[in-house]
Structure 1
Amino acid sequence: MGSDMRMIVGVSGATGVEMSYYLVRALKDMGNCEIHLILSEGAKVTWDLESSVPLEELTELADFIYDEKDLVAAVSSGSFVTDGMVILPCSMKTLAGISVGYAENLLIRAADVCLKEGRKVVLVPREMPFGKIHIENLKKASDLGCVIVPPVLTFYNNPRTLEDQIHHIIGKILLQFGISYEHFVPWTGVPKE
C-alpha cells in the first residue's frame, strides 16, 4: 500500500449522511490514509434532502469513489487489502444484506469481503426505535464480527452543538481502528476534590 492505512467508507441512504463527511474529513486529515468511498443511490438522494454541504465536498476528499453497482471494483475482492470498513450511516436494508450475506451491491459486497478476510467492519445504524427484525439483524451482524456503533447522543462531555455530538460519534468510530480524533472528548473520570 502507498499509504499507512487504506479504509473503505460506505454511505447508505439512511438519515444522517452528513456524518460521513466528518468521518472522511478526519481520515483525510490524517495524511496517511487512502480512502475508498462507496455511495449508494439512496445516499445521494438523502444527501440532497438533508445536507447543506455539497456532495462534491465529500467526494473530493476520497481517493477513490465507487458506484454501488460496480461489483468488479477493487474493494469487491479480498485480495485488495484494506484496514477495514465503516458504513455511516447504515440503513436497515444494508444491515439486513450484511447479516445474511446477500451482497446485491458493492456496499454490502465490500463489507462481506472485509468480514471473510477478518477485517474490521463498523456499522453505524440509523433507525429509531429498532424493531425486532432490526435487533435480530444487529445481533447477527455482531455475531459475524461487525462492530455496532449507533450514533447515540453524549452528555458527559458537555456538548453544546449538533457538531459536538457528531464529533463524539466520529471519535468513537475511529477508536475502533486505533485512531485518535482531535475533536473527541473522552471520559476521564470524576474529578477528585
Structure 2
Amino acid sequence: MSPSPEPRRLVVAITGASGSLLGVRLLQVLRELPGVETHLVLSPSGVLTAAQELDLRRADIEALADVVHNARDVGASIASGSFRSAGMVIAPCSMRTLGAIAHGLSDNLVTRAADVALKERRRLVLLARETPLNLAHLRNMTAVTEMGGIVFPPVPAFYTRPATVEDIVDHTVGRVLDLFDLPHDGLVQRWAGLRAGAQPEPGDGRP
C-alpha cells in the first residue's frame, strides 16, 4: 500500500486589524478542501477584534483550524524553514504586523512565520487593512513587495454587484485561494468582459 500523500499545509494568521471575518471565512473554506492542513496563529489583538466584530471567542476560531499555535511560541514548528508549507496568509494584517515584517522583526510567531515564508521563497499574502495610508504604511508595503511578499488589501470588486458583506468577503477569499492554486467553487465571479449594453459610446474617449 502506498503511503498517504503529504497534506498541503497553509499557515493562517489573524491579527488585530478590522476584518476578522476575512480570516475566519478563509479558515472555513480551507476546512472543506481535501488535502489541506491549516496552521493557525491568532494574535491577542486578533482575539479582541474578533470578539468585537463577530462575537467569537478564541476557542470558536481555533476550532476551525487543524493545528493551533500560540503567538508567543517562537519555537513552534512553523517558526522553522524546515517545516514544509505552501506559504502563509495574514488575514487581516495590521499595520503593526506589516511594519514588523517589513523590518525583519521576528518578535512573535506571526512575524517569525512570515519571515520564514519570505526567506524560503514561499508565498506570503498580507490582507493589509488600514485607510487612509500614511507614508510609513506605503513604504512598508513597498519593502514587503520587494522581498517577494504580496500585499493584498481586501478591496471589493464592485463589478460583481455584491449584495452582502459575505459576497465581498467570499470574493476576496476566493482570490486569495487563487494565489495558492487551491480549487474552490462559487466564491469568485470571474470577469467575463463588459455586459451587453455596457459598451462605451463611440468617440466618448473612454477605454
Give me the TM-score of the superposition, normalised by structure 1.
0.95
Aligned residues: 193
Matching residue of 2:19: 16
Query: Which of 139, 143, 164 is residue 167 of structure 2 equivalent to?
Result: 164
Distance in 2 between the 1:187 and 1:13 partners?
Answer: 32
Higher mean alpha-carbon deviation, 50-59 vs 68-77, is at 50-59
Does 2:22 correspond to 1:31? no
Residue 188 of structure 1 is matched in structure 2 by 192
Please report how far the alpha carbon of residue 178 of structure 1 lies from its aligned counterpart in structure 2 after TM superposition: 1.0
1:62-81 to 2 correspondence within 5 Å?
A: 62-81=65-84
Shift of 1:168: 1.0
Q: Unmatched 5+ residue regions in structure 1?
A: none
CA–CA distance in structure 1, aligned partners of residues 141 and 74 of structure 2: 24
Which residue number in structure 2 is paired with residue 83 of structure 1?
A: 86
CA RMSD of aligned residues (A): 1.5
Deviations 1:36-62 (A, max 9, x none): 000101101111111134443321121
Tell me the TM-score normalized by structure 2. 0.89
Inter-partner Cα distance in structure 2 for 1:2 and 1:78:
20
Q: Distance in 1 between matches of 2:99 and 2:12?
A: 18
| Contact in 2 for aligned 1:3/1:33 (Cα 8 Å) | no
Contact 1:9 1:87 in 2 (8 A): yes
TM superposition shift of 1:184: 1.4
Partners of 1:86 and 1:121 within 8 A in 2: yes
Q: Distance in 1 between matches of 2:87 and 2:196?
A: 39
Query: 1:151 corresponds to which residue?
Result: 154
Q: Which runs of 5 or more residues in structure 2 are unaligned?
A: 198-207
